[in-house]
Structure 1
């Protein structure tokens, strides 16, 4: 088994206090790379993985757990979150904003089903130029946003026979219901939503990895927990943890609460075998800095946010590290 050339090492903040918030991530990365089980995965690339991991991050004083050992493109992640909250499942609005993180899956399907060796650039250009092409080839199926804000509901269909049901024209908006529930009953143990709709998994381009979110109110603070069934620690986690922090802050704002902490729990946490350069480079770096996430406007609804509502300050990461994505 190959090991990282420069293992993560404890890092103490400049004032001699607690380790930097990112150190727990680097320690987990080093542990998986050295000790993880090598497995053949769905993509065929292969991974080293462990079952079960937990990290905690404070959101006090506008803190946000953006990685500092490599650049995380937080505006891309924010645009993705706003796309989720819109209920949209087609990549066209993302591509129009210069966001390409979901394009690999419909491109792969197009190549397989048509046999055309089209480039990513040409495929995305057709998505933007041709609404019919985008409808046919840009949709990802009932992925995150559909489940979050339009989970299918069923109602009696007496015209079809006793005991039969039909799908209602409007689904269940889990996010709106969550905000209402936090405001009405902050001590509830049912403050959660999920994207794992077992009836529609096979229709999704990718079943939800960050699948279940739960929230907990204490001492006037909203705390968020994410259970992630599958986590690409190298490429996916930096977006996932920022997304959890962002969503917790957005919900707290709507519920007149401060943000407390977030808890991330991973099921199958893995590093792809072709990410050796990413792992070794990142583990050779030392985390530093304390970025802040500011929300500049409180709209009438969590669904009315715009990208201009968010600002990240004091974020001075080291350069980005590229690595191939496994589709």
Structure 2
């Protein structure tokens, strides 16, 4: 008999509510969604608990590699493609097809990204997306006559770690990717846009505000990534993970994901996975994929579904 207290049931309940009660609407992609506004979920992180969903296999190493890529400040897909991470390729590929008229497939496009420096620079860059804002937020200094030059970038993540270590009761322990002045230059404005942290005793909790959430495909990645980042920050700050609080603005399911929703709601959650950090690197920026292990993960099979670009 399934344990009704399994952390994944709140996700499945929300998925059902959105599909059955959500407002059906056209969206930017043209695919259409059903949407609810303002849901919240809470996931325990104590003792290695992690919201890694089991009703379909989640490629957690892909999510971890993406998080490590964000922390480098890189905005070009080349480093991801080199690791066989394809989750950001659709946006530059779509732009390439539109602007050149060449109907190249993903594999050929990625091969050119890897093999051709100039092609990668021209077509692989996503604009000032997540990592740029997280670790190198632009500043500008006046130089006279109404002119400005770029000043030193702001590393929000480094500042956050310093705050967690030295001022843990601050109400300003947060970072954001929502740089209004640069949104138009981004391949995709940040969906998981603002992270705030709270220290109670020795427990570090994270609240993630997500303005737009694809519940079928995106959310399982977002939840695991936020939990992973919280564990990394806790380790770097001599704290322990506490809780992940997720709050969504437009939480939606795409209309062409009906098969995904139907199959997920047929399945029962299985194991309760556990995340382990295998070492403590010198800084938050020095983790590698080999530093993470997940135990007791026994998911149902993957369910394929299209990405709306």
CA RMSD of aligned residues (A): 0.9
Distance, in Å, in 2 between the alignment partners of 1:97 and 1:109 is 22
| Deviations, residues 58-103 of structure 1 (Å, cap 9, x unaligned) | 0011011100100000000000000000000000000000000000
1:77 aligns with 2:63: yes
Q: Normalising by structure 1, what TM-score? A: 0.93
Distance, in Å, in 2 between the alignment partners of 1:140 and 1:206 is 8
Q: How far has the Cα of 1:288 moved from its partner?
A: 1.7
Partner in structure 2 of residue 310 of structure 1: 292
Once the two structures are superposed, the pairs formed by residues 275-290 of structure 1 within 5 Å of their partners are 275-290=257-272
Distance, in Å, in 2 between the alignment partners of 1:30 and 1:19 is 17
Partner in structure 1 of residue 214 of structure 2: 232
1:105 aligns with 2:109: no
Unaligned runs of 5+ in 2: none
1:174 aligns with 2:156: yes
Q: How far has the Cα of 1:154 moved from its partner?
A: 1.5
Once the two structures are superposed, the pairs formed by residues 105-144 of structure 1 within 5 Å of their partners are 105-144=91-130
| Secondary structure of 1:287 counterpart | coil
Partner in structure 2 of residue 295 of structure 1: 277
Partner in structure 2 of residue 252 of structure 1: 234
1:188 aligns with 2:174: no
Distance, in Å, in 2 between the alignment partners of 1:180 and 1:119 is 44
| Secondary structure of 2:285 counterpart | helix
Distance, in Å, in 1 between the alignment partners of 2:86 and 2:7 is 29
Distance, in Å, in 1 between the alignment partners of 2:154 and 2:217 is 31
1:322 aligns with 2:308: no
| Deviations, residues 250-306 of structure 1 (Å, cap 9, x unaligned) | 000000001100100000000000001000000000012110110011111110111
| Deviations, residues 30-68 of structure 1 (Å, cap 9, x unaligned) | 001000000000000000001110000000110111001
Distance, in Å, in 1 between the alignment partners of 2:141 and 2:233 is 30
Q: How far has the Cα of 1:153 moved from its partner?
A: 1.2
Distance, in Å, in 1 between the alignment partners of 2:168 and 2:142 is 32
Partner in structure 1 of residue 148 of structure 2: 165
- Which one of 20, 30, 54 corresponds to residue 68 of structure 1? 54
Distance, in Å, in 2 between the alignment partners of 1:325 and 1:12 is 31
Q: How far has the Cα of 1:165 moved from its partner?
A: 3.0
